Structure formats: C-alpha cells, structure tokens
A and B are shown apart, each in its own frame.
Chain A
Amino acid sequence: EAQVTQNPRYLITVTGKKLTVTCSQNMNHEYMSWYRQDPGLGLRQIYYSMNVEVTDKGDVPEGYKVSRKEKRNFPLILESPSPNQTSLYFCASSLSGVDTEAFFGQGTRLTVV
C-alpha cells in the first residue's frame, strides 16, 4: 500500500530535550516536506526537499532541522524544543512537478511542556 508513515503519532516532551520525528514514504517520491498545523493558521511549511541531499527552508524553519540522506526518509529534528513548537506535524511527499498531488502522513501531535 502506498503510504507516508510518521512516528511517533503522539509525543509529550520537556523543554530542551532533543527529539526526532521520523517520516518514510514507499512511493519513490522525489519531493518531501514537513508542515505544522495550528488552529486558525492552516498548514505552514517548515522544510522541504526536492531530492536526496537537497533541502531548503520553508516558511517557519526556526528551531527545526531536517536531513535527506535517502530518498524514502525525511526526519524532522527539534534540537531544543520549546513550548511554542507544540503543534500537529505532517510529513508529505509527491512526485516532482508542480502539478502533482501530495500524500500526507497521519500526523504527529507534539506537546512540549
């Protein structure tokens, strides 16, 4: 089954404790990205990657890191999480090409206390 898999689905952590949210896709997609969803703000892009070893900042990159060492994986790293990073996070992938639709993971609800 074609899918984007995120882990964990739920995470509660403390301020400053480094964490990684994993994302993996099995569709051989070139393009992957991370979004955060906050009430009243819709989804905002954090980082994106057009292909292996190519990543770039989205609209809200502060406090986040990513890497793209393999085509299928695109982990999101919070080196020192803060409460304002409490949010619902989505990973998405698509074929390259502006006319292609994205496939989204199930989401990771992160709470930083």
Chain B
Amino acid sequence: AQSVAQPEDQVNVAEGNPLTVKCTYSVSGNPYLFWYVQYPNRGLQFLLKYITGDNLVKGSYGFEAEFNKSQTSFHLKKPSALVSDSALYFCAVRDSGTYKYIFGTGTRLKVLA
C-alpha cells in the first residue's frame, strides 16, 4: 500500500533562515509526489510536484523540493523563510491506478519574526 509520512507535527524557524519540511514515502512503482500548502480558512494550494527528471523541483513562492530515491524522501525547502510562509503543509503521493491522493498528516510551519 502506498503511504506518506511527515514525521514533524510542527516546525519552527526564524525569519530569514532556511527551512525544511520533511516527507518520506512508500510506493510500488513510480512515485508521483506533490506538496500542497493550506492557509487558515482556505483550501489546499498546489506548490510543486515531482514526476520524473531532475531531482530538485522548483515551485511557487520560492519553494523547492528534493527528491531522493534511495532515501524515499521528498523534503520541501526554502532558502530564506518569511513570516507569511507560516501555514500547514501537506505532502502527497498520487496513486497511479485510482488517481487518489494519499496525504501525509501535515506539518505546521511557524516562521518567527
């Protein structure tokens, strides 16, 4: 069965510092990996995805993610955090048969001024 794990419920980082939000996955076959962000009282917004190719994927709002096949990880990164990045972040893998998204439990990012 496919699954996604986000080991940290919350990540705190100072504004201007680099941030990492961790995600590991377990899939059979090729992984189709996504990151979404949820701001308060809003739906999820797409940030970036890995389908194939370059292991470093660039996305919206200055975010990027590094795909590591050997470690089965897809960590979200940003070189310099902003207070406005504070939100709930979800990693997801998409099932190639049903197209269902399997979400992690989410990581709350708090960027401190």
Which A residues have a C-beta under 8 Å from some C-beta of B? 4, 31, 33, 35, 40-45, 48, 50, 56, 58-59, 90, 92, 94, 96-99, 101-107
Contact = CB atoms under 8 A, between A and B. Distances in A.
B80 interface: no
Given A98-B94, A99-B51, A107 B99 contact: no
Interface residues of B, number: 23
Contacts of A107: 41-43
Interface stretch (B10-18, B63-71, B101-109): B101-109
Interface of B: 32, 34, 36, 41-46, 49, 51, 90, 94-96, 98-101, 103-106
A55 B104 CA distance: 24
A101 B60 CA distance: 13
A42 B90 contact: yes
Given A33-B100, A90-B43, A41 B32 contact: no
Contact of A42 (B42, B49, B105): B105
Nearest to A59: B100
